[in-house]
Structure 1
Amino acid sequence: MSDPKWDDLRVFLAVAREETLSAAGKTLKLDPATVGRRVARLETDLDAALFLKSPQGYVLTPAGQRLLDKATTVETAMLDLSGDVTDRAGALTGQIRLGAPDGAANYLLPQVCSKICADNPGLEVQLVALPRVFNLSKREADMAVTVSPPATGRLTVQKLSDYKLHLAASTSYLRSMPPLQSLQDLKAHKIIGYISDLIFDKELDYLSEIGSPKVDFASNSVSVQINWARGGAGVVIAHDFALPNAPELQKVLSDQMSLTRSFYLVRHADDRKIARLTRFAEELATHLPREIARLEART
């Protein structure tokens, strides 16, 4: 039995994470038949069955689970080797993929990441905006900004910053509707919010703070909600840091309703050893709170 090569371990990791040959092949840019042959070859080399085929796809055997732990450690080392920590001038280089909910990804992180990249010309940042929880164990991203700290998994969590949200509506909408003088008056207004069964984190259930009124316009996207409000559709609970990008909107009932939430940076525990990712995390922890403070001051 020979030690598995890194190229074989990459195939194994992709199948373990994606659970089908076709999905693993898409990740690896290989056809599914080739992926299947590579897995079979690895099982022969190791003299062990690594997967069981089930109706749900490929499921790890006990031997496969043991190899997964070792392969993840090797992957971490290879990621560290493949991305130089710094260039000769001491700047960050290489590629980093950052996941984030779409509110932060649309209104906050572009300028934060641009600042970091301006200071580090050899750095490439990929910003993945998805209205759901990221699976770091499947390497969907190198790290993720979240709205609550995860309770399970081999992850490290760092609080980045608090941020505020308020009710807001367009001037044109407010002129055409009954006066808004108290939270009770919201009953006579159109409400914009999340699709209830697509709220992926309890921290996003903002409307429960005002009695869970009926939602007239719903989306799982923050930017869609804000654009609805900009067009005069109704009242929305908006991030203060997004309001400078929506000049049509003004806060309403801010003395009666104000929410505070937090952003967290989540990383795979093994990635603490990758200096490039740690350095980027430090930059993010410095610049993101400053940008939130700058934008909130404008509202």
Structure 2
Amino acid sequence: MDWDDLRIFLGVARTGSLAEGGRALRLDPATLSRRVTRLEAAAGAALFLKSPRGYALTEAGQRLLPHAEAMEARARAGVAALSADDGLRGRVRIGAPDGVANHVLPAVLARLRALHPALGLDVVALPRVFDLGRREADLAITVSPPKAGRLRVRRLCDYHLSLAAHRDYLAVRGPVATRDDLRGHEIVGYIPDMIFDADLDYLGEVGANAPGLASNSASVQLGLIRAGGGIGVVHDFMLAAAPGLVRVLPGEVRLTRAYHLSRHGDAGGPLISRTADLLADGVREEVARLEALSVG
């Protein structure tokens, strides 16, 4: 499967539509449909579920997505490396939830800064929604796409979360064979009245009890779980850097969310636009790399 095939795959996966994907790829929907059919034949698997609501990824498509995104990011990074001195000068402030700010952005921004030494980058890591209209940040990474304001929003990538606990905790408290077994265990999670995005209500989706140990910070929750405080939902991209943690109910519980990147519609000009492109590529590549480590 070559890059041109993966470009077609990503265009449809990100928009969920032949019409929208065609506009992004500058192909008419009929041509795009033929390309998708040919791609699925070459892959030997259905990559999309087609319905009146659009194109949704199948399980095979979900498996292909992070690899396609990583290849896209490497291709763009190569182009950027050839033109590192492209006039990116100034300072850009990036707002992000603390999980992605602590575990994904450091490597991404270090590489970006190495390529563009005249570009200053600020990271504001707060567990809340940023107000781009008030210029709290130039770019904001969010889970749910913002709906209010004159914003330009793009979908970055899917990421995954798993139930996890420290192996020492499980050795003392006993294994978890079913979701019903969770009722007999300590739970770590978000402070219920401080969940600022409905997509962060992981425990409600898993069916676990209210947390005995709670924080508004995903990184603090990880620390509580590593300390043996109980079972909680952990980003897969954090697991590679958390020795001692093991997945709980891995065949039954794995959540999928998506990151989105937003900027104000009239803010920043070429500097913000170009930085947004490079940031998007870097986040996709780093999430795919870390998730691959967590299962390897």
TM-score in same-fold range (> 0.5) = yes
Tell me the alpha carbon deviations over residues 108-161 of structure 1, each in whole angstroms, 9 at most, x when there is no partner: 111111111111111110000000000011111111000011111111100001
2-side partners of 1:116 and 1:88: how far apart? Answer: 10
Aligned partner of 1:283: which letter? L
- Report whether the alignment pairs 1:184 with 2:153: no
**Pairs within 5 Å for 1:187-206:** 187-206=183-202
How far off its partner does 1:212 sit?
4.5
How far off its partner does 1:211 sit?
2.0
2-side partners of 1:178 and 1:242: how far apart? Answer: 24
2-side partners of 1:230 and 1:91: how far apart? Answer: 44
2-side partners of 1:139 and 1:222: how far apart? Answer: 25
1-side partners of 2:218 and 2:93: how far apart? Answer: 21
Aligned partner of 2:141: which letter? V
**Pairs within 5 Å for 1:1-299:** 89-271=85-267, 274-299=269-294
SS of equivalent to 1:283: helix
How far off its partner does 1:88 sit?
9.7
2-side partners of 1:270 and 1:258: how far apart? Answer: 38
Structure with larger Rg = 1
Is the Cα–Cα contact under 8 Å of residues 155 and 260 in structure 2 kept in the other structure?
A: yes
- 1:119–1:91: structure 2 CA closer, same or farther, 3 Å change rule? farther
Is the Cα–Cα contact under 8 Å of residues 190 and 234 in structure 1 kept in the other structure?
A: yes
Aligned partner of 1:183: which letter? R
1-side partners of 2:174 and 2:237: how far apart? Answer: 27
1-side partners of 2:244 and 2:124: how far apart? Answer: 27
Aligned partner of 1:190: which letter? E
Aligned partner of 1:136: which letter? L
Is the Cα–Cα contact under 8 Å of residues 187 and 213 in structure 1 kept in the other structure?
A: yes
Residue aligning to 1:83: none
Is the Cα–Cα contact under 8 Å of residues 162 and 250 in structure 2 kept in the other structure?
A: yes
What are structure 2's unaligned runs of at least 5 residues? 1-82
Is the Cα–Cα contact under 8 Å of residues 178 and 188 in structure 1 kept in the other structure?
A: no
- 1:88–1:173: structure 2 CA closer, same or farther, 3 Å change rule? closer
Residue aligning to 2:44: none
How far off its partner does 1:178 sit?
2.1
2-side partners of 1:289 and 1:233: how far apart? Answer: 31
1-side partners of 2:229 and 2:123: how far apart? Answer: 29
Residue aligning to 2:29: none
2-side partners of 1:231 and 1:140: how far apart? Answer: 34
How far off its partner does 1:214 sit?
2.2
Aligned partner of 1:197: which letter? D
Is the Cα–Cα contact under 8 Å of residues 155 and 261 in structure 2 kept in the other structure?
A: yes
Aligned partner of 1:131: which letter? P
Residue aligning to 2:26: none
2-side partners of 1:97 and 1:245: how far apart? Answer: 26
How far off its partner does 1:191 sit?
0.2
How far off its partner does 1:248 sit?
2.1
2-side partners of 1:125 and 1:264: how far apart? Answer: 19
Aligned partner of 2:281: which letter? T
2-side partners of 1:192 and 1:250: how far apart? Answer: 15
Residue aligning to 1:36: none
What are structure 1's unaligned runs of at least 5 residues? 1-86
Return the TM-score normalized by structure 1. 0.69
Aligned partner of 2:133: which letter? S
RMSD, aligned CA: 1.4
Residue aligning to 1:49: none
Identity rate, percent: 48
Aligned partner of 2:233: which letter? I
Is the Cα–Cα contact under 8 Å of residues 182 and 208 in structure 2 kept in the other structure?
A: no
2-side partners of 1:119 and 1:243: how far apart? Answer: 28
- 1:118–1:91: structure 2 CA closer, same or farther, 3 Å change rule? farther
